[in-house]
Amino acid sequence: MLDNINDPSDLKKLSNDQLPQLCQEIRAFFIEKILKNGGHFSANLGVVELTVVLHYIFNFKIDRLVWDVGHQAYIHKLLTGRKKEFERIRKLGGIAGFPKIDESEYDHFGTGHSSTSISAILGMAEAAMLDNKPHKHIAVIGDGSLTGGMAFEALNNLGASNANVLVIINDNQIGIDPNSGAINHHLNTINEKINFFKTLGLAYEGPIDGHDMNSLIHSLEKSRDVKTPQILHIRTIKGKGYLPAEKAQTDWHSVSYVKIDPSKSNTDNPKPSKFQDVFGHTLLELAEKDQRIVGITPAMPSGSSMKILMDAMPNRVFDVGIAEQHAVTFSAGLAAAGKRPFCSIYSSFAQRAYDQIIHDVALQNIPVVFCIDRAGLVGADGPTHHGSFDISYLNAIPNLTIVSPMDEHELRNAMYWAADFTGGPVVIRYPRGLGSKTNYKNEIQPLEVGTSRILQQGDKIGIISIGEIGTEVQKAIKDLNNTIHHIDARFIKPIDENEITNTLRSFDRIITVEESCLIGGFGQQIKNIAQDQNYTGEITSLGLPDQFIEQGTRVELRAKYKLDEKGIRRCIHAIMHKK
């Protein structure tokens, strides 16, 4: 049956009672493709029936549909002409793992970050009202995403409007990790009388079983005729139809196609740890020694490895929900009361808390330690998730000290140092994925603020790198017979002006390397110092260009943007041969 569905219009030719079989075929297809190719898994299995019925009842050439945190939109992609593209989903050049406005006329709004869907759909619906257009506007949002304040801002606005909006609450009680906020608890016992949505003036229907085809058809047909704001609350099971995923929902949130490559699993060599795990284990070590230390995560205990501390000392970790703004100011409150909070946020999600970092932490010079995870390229999640901008947006903030450790040992040194640092708030930024050391546990070396490290002496070209990309520099220069002088800047702020000045004096050709956008980035700071010192040599800055970076593996993307060993070596050769 699925073979004949190439557009939602094909779906409409089926009778009601054919839909369950279609769902079965969809699940079989989806499970096979994603187990093979990798991608977000369980959330999509939870919305198979919903997606089928939505496309069965509505016409999304005219009606509008926004999927919150779009990783639940794979089935939607599958039904809207992109079945064949599933071989290359989330891969370089392939379809995205999230809805993408320029990928299909059925993707009405791109969503990678959480809690944006109601705002976007309400905007579209108000536009339609102004134009006297009667079509339906639907947002599908998980209960986890409801914890993001932005969703509330939109509900508050929606409840006072007359827009033709249906918000479907996809309640499965789990984000990546289990949800724990008051709104999630409320959804378990919600009824017609004690009802969050009704207090906001919103018509409410539910809860209904989101896997029951007839209930879904009945409810959505009814809501098609409603022209004002409405909530439909459905209950679904994340991972539905694939037992391992139903049982271990966090593990199966997404699957990696690397994970099931058998060639990688039976090596005996000690492997480097993930930066995340080094963060988690080190935080536990610190917390064991220092009662002041607490951990804060906005719904990312597993992804950030905050879970290591959480499992050992549950009362010392706060999972505040998908709520980066609150996470930061809550951390500021903890610090103002004498705690030493380590607040872990992904680089691209920290954009959500920019004002709080400025206004609640930096302005008051409160000692929060921000652990900015996923700094730099993240891989398959693509442009919504790359940590491309944090150096630029954080460097402008007064009172921050920003350090970007090159490897696991440096991360540990930075965390130990930050735990006792008395000079104000600290940012420690590190990338997604594996480090370069076989044993992450080092003897802790004290860090001195604003100091760099000379990793190799050389006499022809100076390279100044920041962060983990420095390991690519090391690989690139190791056979170049000490012609290259390599400095790991380590601190972005305050930058090591002395050593940079030395380097400017010693070399008339300098390369800066960062895995971050060039505008406002690290290399620009070096160029500024150079300009101020009337440096007459040449500075080449490697980094991310002024564009959103596509999806792809980190290896592919580093290669494309000349940030890998080979790219750096080519850059060196080009500069060498210029003179």
CB-based contacts of 261, cutoff 8 Å, min separation 6:
none
What does the DSSP assignment read for 24-81?
HHHHHHHHHHHHHH-EE-HHHHHTHHHHHHHHHHS-TTTSEEEESSGGG-HHHHHHTT
Count of chain residues binding a second copy (CB under 8 A): 114
Residue numbers 79-108 binding a second copy by CB under 8 A: 101, 108
Are residues 521 and 490 in contact, defined by beta-carbon separation less than 8 angstroms?
no
- Nearest residue (CB) to a second copy, 19 versus 118: 118
| Residue 513 φ/ψ, nearest 5 degrees | -135, 130
The interface region with a second copy, picked from 13-21, 267-275, 461-469, 529-537 by CB under 8 A, is 529-537
DSSP 8-state code for residue 434: B
Both tokens of residue 131?
């134009």
Q: Does 185 bind a second copy (CB under 8 A)?
A: yes
DSSP letter assigned to residue 194: S
Binding segment for a second copy (CB under 8 A), chosen from 148-156, 372-380, 478-486, 557-565, is 148-156
How far apart, in whole angstroms, are the C-alpha atoms of residue 454 and residue 506? 14
Footprint on residues 399-428 left by a second copy (CB under 8 A): 399
Instruction: Output the smallest distance, CB 486 to a second copy, in A.
Output: 21
Instruction: Name the minimum Å distance from CB 180 to a second copy.
Output: 6
On the 0-12 / 13-18 / 19+ scale of CB atoms within 10 A, 239 is: buried
3-state SS of the chain: helix, strand, coil percent to 5? 40, 15, 40
Nearer to a second copy by C-beta: 370 or 440? 370
Among 352, 432, 437, 493, the one annotated catalytic: 352
Residue with tokens 């000379």: 454
Complex with a second copy: residue 160 or 454, whichever CB lies closer: 160
Residue 389 in contact with a second copy, rule: CB under 8 A: yes
The reply on whether position 193 binds a second copy by CB under 8 A is yes
Give the torsion through C-alpha atoms of 522, 525, 527, 533, to 10 deg.
-150
501 lies in the binding site for a second copy (CB under 8 A): no
Q: How far is the CB of 74 from a second copy (least distance, A)?
A: 20
Tell me which of 27, 77, 136, 238 is the catalytic residue.
238
532 binds a second copy (CB under 8 A): yes
Binders of a second copy among residues 344 to 383 (CB under 8 A) are 348-349, 351-352, 354-356, 358-360, 362-364, 383
Residue nearer to a second copy on the CB measure, 185 or 271: 185
Residue whose CB is less far from a second copy, 19 or 323: 323
Bridge partners for 295 per DSSP: 317, 342
Query: CA dist 196 to 150, 160, 236, Å?
Result: 16, 15, 19
Q: Which is nearer to a second copy, 240 or 352 (CB)?
A: 352
Closest approach of Cβ 507 to a second copy, in Å? 14
Supply 173's token pair.
């009680």
Considering Cα of 130, then 135, then 136, then 137, what sign does the dihedral take?
negative
Q: Does 316 bind a second copy (CB under 8 A)?
A: yes
45, 239 contact by CB (below 8 A):
yes
CB 427 within 8 A of CB 402: yes
For residue 466, the one-letter residue type is I
Which residue type sits at 133?
A: K
Q: Is 371 helix (H, G, I), strand (E, B) or coil?
A: strand
Complex with a second copy: residue 127 or 555, whichever CB lies closer: 127
Indicate which single residue of 26, 155, 278, 287 sits in contact with a second copy (rule: CB under 8 A): 155
Residues 111-130 that bind a second copy (CB under 8 A): 112-113, 116, 119-128, 130
Q: How many CB atoms lie within 10 A of CB 259?
A: 11
Q: Of the candidates 19, 48, 140, 150, which one interacts with a second copy according to CB under 8 A?
A: 150
What is the C-alpha separation between 160 and 577, in angstroms, rounded?
Answer: 67
Site residues (CB under 8 A) for a second copy, limited to 272-311: 294
Phi, psi for 290 (deg, rounded to 5): -130, 110
Residues 224-283 contacting a second copy, CB under 8 A? none
CB of residue 214 vs a second copy: minimum separation in angstroms?
29
Residues in region 430-459 near a second copy by CB under 8 A: none
Region near a second copy per CB under 8 A, out of 277-285, 392-400, 420-428, 463-471 = 392-400
Distance CA 141, CA 117 (A): 7
Q: Are strands 426-429 and 401-403 parallel, antiparallel or unpaired?
A: parallel
Query: In the set 224, 227, 288, 398, which binds a second copy (CB under 8 A)?
Result: 398
Q: Single out the residue of 338, 422, 577, 578 in contact with a second copy (rule: CB under 8 A).
A: 338
Binders of a second copy among 534-553, rule CB under 8 A?
Answer: 534-536, 538-539, 546-548
Q: Report whether the peptide linkage leading into residue 494 is cis, meaning its omega lies within 30 degrees of zero.
A: yes
70, 524, 563, 564: residue in contact with a second copy (rule CB under 8 A): 524
Among 30, 86, 242, 330, binds a second copy (CB under 8 A): 330
Q: Which two tokens stand for residue 462?
A: 């100076």
Angle at 492 between CA 518 and CA 459, to 5 degrees: 80
Is 468 annotated in the active site? no
Q: Does 194 bind a second copy (CB under 8 A)?
A: yes
352 in active site:
yes
Do 370 and 426 touch, CB atoms closer than 8 A?
yes
131 binds a second copy (CB under 8 A): yes
Q: Stretches 74-82, 234-242, 315-323, 448-456: which one binds a second copy (CB under 8 A)?
A: 315-323
Is 514 among the residues known to form the active site?
no
10, 29, 104, 198: which one binds a second copy (CB under 8 A)? 198
- Rounded distance, CA 128 to CA 125, Å? 5
Tell me which of 28, 160, 260, 454 binds a second copy, using CB under 8 A.
Answer: 160
Site string for a second copy, 39-78 (x = CB under 8 A): -------------------------x--------------
Which positions are catalytic? 238, 324, 352
